[in-house]
Amino acid sequence: MQTRTLGAGGLAVSALGLGCMGMSWSYGPPKDKTEMIALLRAAVERGVTFFDTAEVYGPYQNEELLGEALAPFRGQVVIATKFGWAPASEQEANGRWNGLNSRPEHIKQVVEGSLKRLRVEFIDLYYQHRVDPAVPIEDVAGTVKDLIAEGKVKHFGLSEAGAETIRRAHAVQAVTTLQSEYSLWYREPEKEILPTLEELGIGFVPFSPLGKGFLTGKMDENTPLDATDFRSKVPRFEPENRRANQSLVDLLNRFAQQKQATPGQIALAWLLAQKPWIVPIPGTTKLTRLEENLGAVGVNLTPEDLSEIEATASNITIHGARYPAEMEKKSGL
Ligand SMILES: NC(=O)c1ccc[n+]([C@@H]2O[C@H](COP(=O)([O-])OP(=O)(O)OC[C@H]3O[C@@H](n4cnc5c(N)ncnc54)[C@H](OP(=O)(O)O)[C@@H]3O)[C@@H](O)[C@H]2O)c1
């Protein structure tokens, strides 16, 4: 497995990481724990050294799962986790408008829980999950700086932060990486974010790099999504939008045939080709799909391929918002 480096501090990780959210949260009920432990260990055997979780996935269950599964590989893998949501009980007590909490005292409290659940002495990469408009980003960066000085955290990350916020945070504590949505069907970061990251020497970790599964070509407008699946609430996954967005999958399929690859592999190879400091974190709960996704590292898209993809993709209108309106408001992009 090839490695890539995130940020000026030289965080080396496998060129593709593994997004672990779907093992416990968001895409239906939590998956079988024994099977997920086996999958996580199989990923390590196949060269994956970068695992993505968050306190809120479960909540807590996903961190616990990674703590158990990856305990034998301490020091050989990089585990990224995230803080910044207020537990439901706290939201009721203080009436905070959007359920976010990045107050310094809260971060200092919840880091202890993450350390314990992950069974580590320090967190390799600690992201703020969403920018909290009630807390200046300088205070958040300063708090993570303290945690780094105390040896509890190694690297600082932000998620879905805007360019100005990234700059302000980076001035207080070097940001190693930004994690935000990016794929052929969500290209917003290209406008301001990627140039800012390049200028500041910050790495980029695209989440939902397979368009939450849609770009693999394994879903169409008839694929059922039950109420426990978050995508059932996402406008972009409404059946008529899935039907309209099929033209993007057609493009990926065309290249997949040429390259003897799969549409999902083309979607990931396209991301890897954008910048050498981009590390996508596709999520899966199945070994065959993990292996398929890792195969994207070996798919070579030439400059001509990339121009052709660009020319076609830029004429495709993507239908439906990527998030319900309430959630989109929390994005800093
Ligand atoms: N920072 C944030 O706010 C944020 C937000 C969202 C996600 N994330 C992180 O990013 C990671 C990845 O994002 P994501 O899970 O939303 O989306 P994704 O990686 O784009 O897609 C995951 C979906 O695709 C399916 N899938 C994966 N590989 C496949 C393949 N080869 N063929 C067919 N289907 C395939 C998975 O189903 P199966 O499990 O059935 O394979 C799952 O439903 C998450 O796990 C999480 O760690 C972060």
Is residue 253 assigned to a domain?
Answer: yes
Q: Look at residue 329 and tell me whether its pLDDT is greater than 80.
A: no
Is residue 278 assigned to a domain?
Answer: yes
- pLDDT bin (cut points 50, 70, 90) of residue 88 is low
Q: Look at residue 331 and tell me whether its pLDDT is greater than 90.
A: no
Question: What percent of the chain has a predicted confidence (pLDDT) above 90?
Answer: 90
> Which residue's CA is minimally distant from atom 34 of ligand 1?
213
Q: What's the chain's average pLDDT?
A: 95
Could you report the per-residue pLDDT of 280-304, keeping only the tens digit for each?
A: 999 999 999 999 999 999 999 999 9
Q: Look at residue 324 and tell me whether its pLDDT is greater than 90.
A: no
CA distances in angstroms from 91 to 127, 132, 139, 187, 197, listed in the order given: 21, 14, 21, 32, 33
Confidence (pLDDT) at 92: 55
Confidence (pLDDT) at 99: 84
d(CA 153, CA 175): 12
d(CA 129, CA 6): 18
First and final CA of the chain: distance in angstroms?
32
Residue 256: which residues within 8 A CB-CB, separation 6 or more?
A: 217, 262, 263, 265, 266
Is residue 20 assigned to a domain?
Answer: yes
> Which residue's CA is minimally distant from atom 23 of ligand 1?
213
CB distance 49 to ligand 1 below 6 Å: no
Confidence (pLDDT) at 197: 98
Residue 174: which residues within 8 A CB-CB, separation 6 or more?
A: 7, 8, 9, 156
d(CA 83, CA 156): 11
Nearest alpha-carbon partner for 5 in 78, 89, 109: 78
Contact between 17 and 279 under an 8 Å Cβ cutoff? The reply is yes
> Which residue's CA is minimally distant from atom 15 of ligand 1?
283
Question: Which atom of ligand 1 is closest in space to residue 293's alpha carbon?
Answer: 31
SS3 label, residue 106: helix
> Which residue's CA is minimally distant from atom 14 of ligand 1?
208
Could you report the per-residue pLDDT of 24-41, keeping only the tens digit for each?
A: 999 999 999 999 999 999
Q: How many domains does the chain have?
A: 1
Question: Which atom of ligand 1 is closest in space to residue 179's alpha carbon?
Answer: 1
Confidence (pLDDT) at 91: 57
Is residue 333 assigned to a domain?
Answer: no
Q: What are the residue ranges of helices labelled H in the chain? A: 33-45, 61-70, 88-94, 104-118, 137-149, 163-172, 193-200, 239-244, 246-259, 263-274, 287-294, 303-313, 325-328
Of the residues 57, 126, 182, 186, which is catalytic? 57
- Tell me what the mean pLDDT of segment 180-208 comes to: 98
Cα 22 to averaged position of ligand 1 atoms, centre (Å): 7
> Which residue's CA is minimally distant from atom 21 of ligand 1?
212
Could you report the per-residue pLDDT of 188-199, keeping only the tens digit for each?
A: 999 999 999 999
Is residue 270 assigned to a domain?
Answer: yes
Cα 27 to averaged position of ligand 1 atoms, centre (Å): 9
Q: Look at residue 100 and tell me whether its pLDDT is greater than 60.
A: yes
Question: Which atom of ligand 1 is closest in space to residue 82's alpha carbon?
Answer: 1
Cα 282 to averaged position of ligand 1 atoms, centre (Å): 5
Q: Look at residue 93 and tell me whether its pLDDT is greater than 60.
A: no
Is residue 142 assigned to a domain?
Answer: yes
Q: Look at residue 95 and tell me whether its pLDDT is greater than 70.
A: no
Q: Which domain holds residue 259?
A: 3-328
Reading the block at residue 66, the tokens are 């990674």
Is residue 146 assigned to a domain?
Answer: yes
- pLDDT bin (cut points 50, 70, 90) of residue 185 is very high
Confidence (pLDDT) at 328: 78
Instruction: Provide the CATH number for the domain around residue 139.
Output: 3.20.20.100
57 is catalytic: yes
Cα 281 to averaged position of ligand 1 atoms, centre (Å): 8
Cα 213 to averaged position of ligand 1 atoms, centre (Å): 6
Q: Look at residue 310 and tell me whether its pLDDT is greater than 80.
A: yes
CB distance 292 to ligand 1 below 6 Å: yes
Is residue 49 assigned to a domain?
Answer: yes
CB distance 21 to ligand 1 below 6 Å: yes
CB distance 207 to ligand 1 below 6 Å: yes
Question: Which atom of ligand 1 is closest in space to residue 19's alpha carbon?
Answer: 45
- pLDDT bin (cut points 50, 70, 90) of residue 87 is confident
Confidence (pLDDT) at 97: 41
- pLDDT bin (cut points 50, 70, 90) of residue 90 is low
d(CA 326, CA 286): 31
Q: Look at residue 177 and tell me whether its pLDDT is greater than 50.
A: yes
